Structure 1
């Protein structure tokens, strides 16, 4: 009954809005009637948008949690190159470690001891607070991702949604709850109100990665951000009970933090075991590269089996190093060169020297290829930028690049553009009709609107968008058809019907005869053909979250909004050229619409300025390159931020600005004949 009443109400508002729009277009020759109808149309449209927003705001906690869970699943997909591009995975085990204090969580009676059983072990914990520790490269980050994905699959209604969040950007001044809310908005496209609702209802399980990546080595423990974060996590509660969470950290750092006298209580601790030499040899022997090049891999496998405690076995005792070996020597190079290395660091340098060329070679057959030297130089520039401006943090969020301390010239260029676009339209108006009070008022409005763009230069910026999830998928992606189906079903149908009336009626006004209120201007009709396409893109994108489209969708949305704002200006320039009105109206239209774009989409414009300033050191289509690097296994994605594949890889790029060695000759794999 309520559903039918709601549909009838929407139909009535749709009809009323359409009638008013038609009247505005057909009877604008009567000034008073046109003004009244325009005002009524604005009121009706605003009321329709408000009712739709209120309907979506009435969503209960369970439905909001289900939507968040879907967004987390969409954002949690990993490239196959993260696991080495093969179905074979390393055999990794873990064990529960006793706590160094008396307040630990109740452990399962029979722990699974294998990574595929970690979700079941976690669900038995009381309270559900878990710390996962391991050596560098032990697979903590990959485990956190797979844990969030597996727990989402078995999550029941009413259980909290596991959300993977990198801890690198947390500061002491921000409460932990506010930090989680901020990441739900930025990384998973939730509105701030909805994110706060989920956190307060206890429906968010933070899976926190990167406690060991928050500080430089020389920072004292008492003053470290890691100790402050551990204190904030200890105080993270639901009512009087400890709130559930999962945390990853390096073993040595967490041992120090636990012994500092301020540990995190009511938790269980899992230690990831090193990969044994036999497990490493079994993993490498089952890879496709070893199967096709048995003679080349035989010395390495023999060394691992013969000396299980040797230097090479210790150097390859983590899943990260094993994937490095598999990638470096899968299709080319001689793995026996590792036998001449004398330290773990030397083994790492040799493997990382092959990592970029080998990763490029692995995806060259299916994707556009970049030169290894360019990839190394571009990734090195990004790594050094992270090291310089943020103390070695790992998050590379595109919207924040122009706000970094080293982007002063990008902000100056943006401020100059805002000033030009804010002042030029006003000067053009005043130069022609400066004595008219109406013209002075219009000029003042243009200056005020243009000046809003300067507010984006503040540290916190301004938020003129209610939703944080407007992003565009790649062109040709199947997500476009998904977005269209979502837009044409449920509550979206009403918005589509009302929004579609605008371009249809404008087109009718352009081609209709004068007795029906038209102007019979076919030239204007042709120029307006692009408008329905822009509408389709906007309606589709509004139904796809940033978690679905990934961090690169934000930059594509910036290009779309620039096109959306500059298309009317282009139409006006085209018409003024056809009427020989001179250059004044052209500059006025371009500057006025540009000023509006800078006011509404300042962060996107600042990012474009940052790309222009750094165009000689980085590719201008940076997001496309980062998406390619993600497919190649060089970059990973956490929410709306890019990260280097591993901290060791990022630090190696910071130290090595040029390729470590020339690209080796590719040797085609040779099959070993079976007698």
Structure 2
């Protein structure tokens, strides 16, 4: 910790000295040593350029490793707030009603000697999971269960409950989907990457939290890493267990929570290389009597008693029948209740002969029922929602390795997105050739033309570097997560930026937009040019300033996954507004439209270099036009409100992996709503 503080002081000192040197050189030039700046306009340009360098350094300071170390407790508290805002246990996950599914679990003995101590009297319920975990030593827990048993629900509930009453010094639980863990990536680096991407932390602060043992990784989806048939010794799941075995804090095993399907984990345990020093809990199946209690207390069953009575009677009469086995997990039970609560006839499930047939009928009604539950007159038709979700499910399936997270900034880098990358590369090449042709072929080939051409080549190289698998960023991605325009988070961002230790950075960063606005609007007597046409070009400066502040002080988790494309659109507006105004001014003074093309090409290359991730995402949307909605993030947020999509940190996931796989297999809806056999007017109501 002491070394981190010293490194932070050295970096801060170097930053201050470098900034002062830039300002001194600029002032020396402005004051006229040698040729100097002869007039006020030249001096204003030089000063503005110097202040621009200073502002850029300040706004990028947060995302670099040169951030001074902070107190670990403060960083942990900040991360806990971000996680709490992102991982609120949605009511839709546990049933979207006042009556949730009762999830219980049982501690299981390990097949090896290196296991953690278990609580003497475990609670064995969802509400008592945190207390049971605190009684485990070392604090390592594996949550197992059948597909759909509620492993992710239990993990989310654990994160929410532990964050709600976390003691000082305890690590912050963070839910992390395992789907994107690469074989060559260290476990520590992978967690740090997620803290930066999903929760808006800086790389330095995330690394400091990991090295201090203040992060409790809650790893979800070990069973979703490998395709069927992969040998266990060569599987990614085994690699995860090996990494967790070596994950230590000092001489003690570091805390961790892991979820996995029961059959796979037992195979991994039998392989001889299980995760050591961990306790294991097994989620109990939902018994028929619990399914009857849950369904009978639902609003739909209360108001449609006659429709639901045959289903409840079947569960009571055959507690181990096909229907009872199909509804033995919380996920399927909630999906069935959602599918048949308001519309459709639940008695049609009695005709099913297999569990797969029950699942197909439930899922066929699940999406349409969810759509009508969120909107009486839905914004999108159920058929269109199904087709769009099918395309997104295929997008994830094409990535292989059990991909289950939809990360909008990375969709254009997925294996099946080659046409999108080709379109982006062709666009950058066309803009580069157009600009070089204008300045070198048709130009005078003077010093200015060669300078602009060199600038264009550098921008083109930077733009093409975004095509790398790991990407490339001139601007930190965490600085581009902006809330909705009417969101109260803007007020939170302004208050946070203008108070505390952020206030000096905000004041210094505000110098540049104030100077430019003054230069544009002020009359000649006060040092300005009084050009209202020029003033239009700089109007986005205050908006840019507010947006940069918001991107620096708000966590990505607080904004949500849709904040990244919103930030990209904002950055494009800031970059292109001056270009449009200059184009209009050029046309007004008599320039030909073809003479303005190089200007537009230069701004296009600048946009690709600065926000290449957003440009790649736009190319992906253009390639998949009509296959997915153009405003994809808005559609996914709407699906989250409908209960079809869930949000984990800064990424989207389907409600359940089983639902994702079902959508990938069914390109069109299977059935239309079914009505009860009797007249709904005769249904008794309480």
Q: Secondary structure at the match of 1:173?
A: coil
| 1:326 match | 337
| 1:231 match | 242
- Alpha-carbon offset, residue 434 of structure 1: 2.7
CA contact (8 A) 2:66 2:204 kept: no
- Alpha-carbon offset, residue 531 of structure 1: 3.0
- Alpha-carbon offset, residue 188 of structure 1: 1.3
The whole-number CA distance in structure 2 between the counterparts of 1:47 and 1:375 is 44
Q: Secondary structure at the match of 2:500?
A: coil
- Alpha-carbon offset, residue 171 of structure 1: 2.4
1:210 is aligned to 2:233: no
| 1:3 match | none
The whole-number CA distance in structure 2 between the counterparts of 1:45 and 1:651 is 47
Written as runs of structure 1 = structure 2, the 5 A alignment for 1:23-62 is 29=39, 37=47, 41=51, 57-62=68-73
1:240 is aligned to 2:226: no
CA contact (8 A) 1:565 1:593 kept: yes
Q: 1:236 to 1:387 in 2, by over 3 A?
A: same
CA contact (8 A) 1:419 1:451 kept: no
1:482 is aligned to 2:515: no
The whole-number CA distance in structure 2 between the counterparts of 1:473 and 1:33 is 37
| 1:662 match | 672
- Alpha-carbon offset, residue 475 of structure 1: 2.6
Q: Secondary structure at the match of 2:405?
A: coil
| 1:519 match | 529
1:222 is aligned to 2:230: no
Written as runs of structure 1 = structure 2, the 5 A alignment for 1:276-295 is 276-295=287-306
The whole-number CA distance in structure 2 between the counterparts of 1:43 and 1:287 is 61
- Alpha-carbon offset, residue 542 of structure 1: 2.4
- Alpha-carbon offset, residue 503 of structure 1: 3.3
The whole-number CA distance in structure 1 between the counterparts of 2:278 and 2:105 is 16
Q: Of 127, 132, 135, which residue of structure 2 is paired with 1:121?
A: 132
The whole-number CA distance in structure 2 between the counterparts of 1:202 and 1:68 is 13
Written as runs of structure 1 = structure 2, the 5 A alignment for 1:346-365 is 346-365=357-376
Q: Secondary structure at the match of 1:83?
A: coil
- Alpha-carbon offset, residue 665 of structure 1: 5.8
The whole-number CA distance in structure 2 between the counterparts of 1:546 and 1:63 is 18
Q: Secondary structure at the match of 1:207?
A: strand
The whole-number CA distance in structure 1 between the counterparts of 2:383 and 2:365 is 12
Q: 1:429 to 1:159 in 2, by over 3 A?
A: same
Written as runs of structure 1 = structure 2, the 5 A alignment for 1:59-208 is 59-208=70-219
Q: 1:54 to 1:358 in 2, by over 3 A?
A: closer
Q: 1:424 to 1:258 in 2, by over 3 A?
A: same
CA contact (8 A) 1:423 1:447 kept: no
* Cα deviations by residue, 1:458-490 (Å, 9 ceiling, x for unpaired): 222223235635301123222122112212222
TM-score by length of 2: 0.90
The whole-number CA distance in structure 2 between the counterparts of 1:284 and 1:107 is 34
The whole-number CA distance in structure 1 between the counterparts of 2:55 and 2:562 is 32
- Alpha-carbon offset, residue 214 of structure 1: 0.9
Q: 1:590 to 1:237 in 2, by over 3 A?
A: same
Q: 1:458 to 1:630 in 2, by over 3 A?
A: same
| 1:400 match | 410
The whole-number CA distance in structure 2 between the counterparts of 1:310 and 1:654 is 28
The whole-number CA distance in structure 2 between the counterparts of 1:587 and 1:98 is 72
Q: 1:564 to 1:673 in 2, by over 3 A?
A: closer
Q: Secondary structure at the match of 2:92?
A: helix
Q: Secondary structure at the match of 1:345?
A: helix
- Alpha-carbon offset, residue 637 of structure 1: 1.4
Q: Which runs of 5+ in 1 are unaligned?
A: 1-5
Q: Considering only aligned residues, what root-mean-square deviation do their CA atoms show, in Å?
A: 2.8
The whole-number CA distance in structure 2 between the counterparts of 1:235 and 1:658 is 46
| 1:591 match | 601
CA contact (8 A) 1:212 1:250 kept: yes
The whole-number CA distance in structure 1 between the counterparts of 2:364 and 2:55 is 60
The whole-number CA distance in structure 2 between the counterparts of 1:310 and 1:51 is 62
- Alpha-carbon offset, residue 529 of structure 1: 3.2
The whole-number CA distance in structure 2 between the counterparts of 1:85 and 1:604 is 35
- Alpha-carbon offset, residue 78 of structure 1: 4.2
The whole-number CA distance in structure 1 between the counterparts of 2:97 and 2:667 is 30
TM-score by length of 1: 0.91
Q: 1:523 to 1:301 in 2, by over 3 A?
A: same
| 1:672 match | 684
| 1:492 match | 502
- Alpha-carbon offset, residue 49 of structure 1: 6.5
CA contact (8 A) 1:446 1:592 kept: yes
CA contact (8 A) 1:293 1:670 kept: no
Q: Secondary structure at the match of 1:205?
A: strand
1:637 is aligned to 2:625: no
Which deviates more from structure 2 when the two are superposed, residues 179-188 or residues 265-274? 179-188
1:606 is aligned to 2:616: yes
Which deviates more from structure 2 when the two are superposed, residues 520-529 or residues 294-303? 520-529
The whole-number CA distance in structure 1 between the counterparts of 2:58 and 2:263 is 58
CA contact (8 A) 2:478 2:551 kept: no
Q: 1:44 to 1:358 in 2, by over 3 A?
A: closer
CA contact (8 A) 1:79 1:630 kept: no
The whole-number CA distance in structure 1 between the counterparts of 2:539 and 2:635 is 33
The whole-number CA distance in structure 2 between the counterparts of 1:250 and 1:554 is 33
Q: Of 256, 262, 276, which residue of structure 1 is paired with 2:273?
A: 262
CA contact (8 A) 2:513 2:541 kept: yes
The whole-number CA distance in structure 2 between the counterparts of 1:385 and 1:507 is 46
Q: Of 543, 549, 572, which residue of structure 2 is paired with 1:562?
A: 572
Q: Of 407, 415, 420, which residue of structure 1 is paired with 2:430?
A: 420
- Alpha-carbon offset, residue 547 of structure 1: 0.9
What is the aligned length? Answer: 658
CA contact (8 A) 2:179 2:402 kept: no
| 1:461 match | 471
The whole-number CA distance in structure 1 between the counterparts of 2:46 and 2:462 is 29
The whole-number CA distance in structure 2 between the counterparts of 1:662 and 1:408 is 36
CA contact (8 A) 2:55 2:509 kept: no
The whole-number CA distance in structure 2 between the counterparts of 1:639 and 1:97 is 30
| 1:574 match | 584
Q: Secondary structure at the match of 2:469?
A: coil
Q: Secondary structure at the match of 2:106?
A: strand
CA contact (8 A) 2:30 2:46 kept: no
Q: 1:594 to 1:515 in 2, by over 3 A?
A: same
The whole-number CA distance in structure 2 between the counterparts of 1:44 and 1:337 is 68
Q: 1:86 to 1:40 in 2, by over 3 A?
A: closer
* Cα deviations by residue, 1:575-606 (Å, 9 ceiling, x for unpaired): 21222233355222221121111112111111
1:503 is aligned to 2:522: no
Q: 1:427 to 1:75 in 2, by over 3 A?
A: same
Which deviates more from structure 2 when the two are superposed, residues 117-126 or residues 450-459? 450-459
Q: 1:581 to 1:134 in 2, by over 3 A?
A: same
| 1:537 match | 547
